[in-house]
Amino acid sequence: MDFSIIAEYLPRYFDATLLTLRIAFFGTVYALILGLVCSLVQYLRVPVARQIVTAYVELSRNTPLLVQLFFIYFGLPKLGIVWSSENCAIIGLTFLGGSYMAEAFRSGFESVEKIQMESARSLGMKTSTAIRYVLLPQALAVALPGITANIVFLIKETSVVSIIALPDLMFVTKDIIGTDYNTWIALGMLVVFYLIILLPISLIAGKVERRMRHV
């Protein structure tokens, strides 16, 4: 193991990690928002919008992120819609992650008995208030494991965004392998940096899940 080579590559991996984290953060946050909205549309059985959400979920879950990125980055410019590589990556993660988050939230909502929402409404609560104080807290306790798994899944899916010329962790690794042929060092550093990102998230999420079970 040549530590001088590792030291030489570290700045590139640090920069790539920051980019990966930025894409993963915004993609995950927007996916959570989109998933929550979609699941509420389905739960409340909003006419027309419910059918649109169902079609979106099926389309998103049954097409690979790679195909979605190709469509966003290479296809949309043909229609005059041009975004930067980073924005395309965030939009792609949001589009994919939103459907998975919607299913996680939906399972949580379905675990809450309908009588609780009906009781809240009969007490004079607005639908929005009942959702906020009655439905969401109970649903989140059930949906949290699925949401956590989806967050980890989306972070790992960032490895695909290198296909649209983003210098993320995977891009840097492939570049080093292609130019310097230091395959094992590059792959080892890739694994280490992904572990640095993912392990804390998994550990924190596990603690939060255990605490919510006892609340």
The pLDDT tens digits of the residues spanning 103-150 come to 999 999 988 888 888 888 888 888 888 888 888 888 988 898 899 999
Residue range 159-169, pLDDT digits in tens: 999 899 889 99
Alpha helices in the chain (DSSP H): 3-43, 49-61, 65-70, 85-111, 114-122, 127-130, 136-157, 169-180, 183-213
Burial grade of 128 (CB within 10 A; 0-12, 13-18, 19 or more): exposed
Which string of b and e fits 40-55 if b means at least 16 CB within 10 Å? Answer: bbbbeeeeeeeeebee
The model carries a pTM of 0.90
HSE-CB of 73 using CA atoms within 13 angstroms:
22
Q: Mean of the pLDDT values across residues 76-96?
A: 94
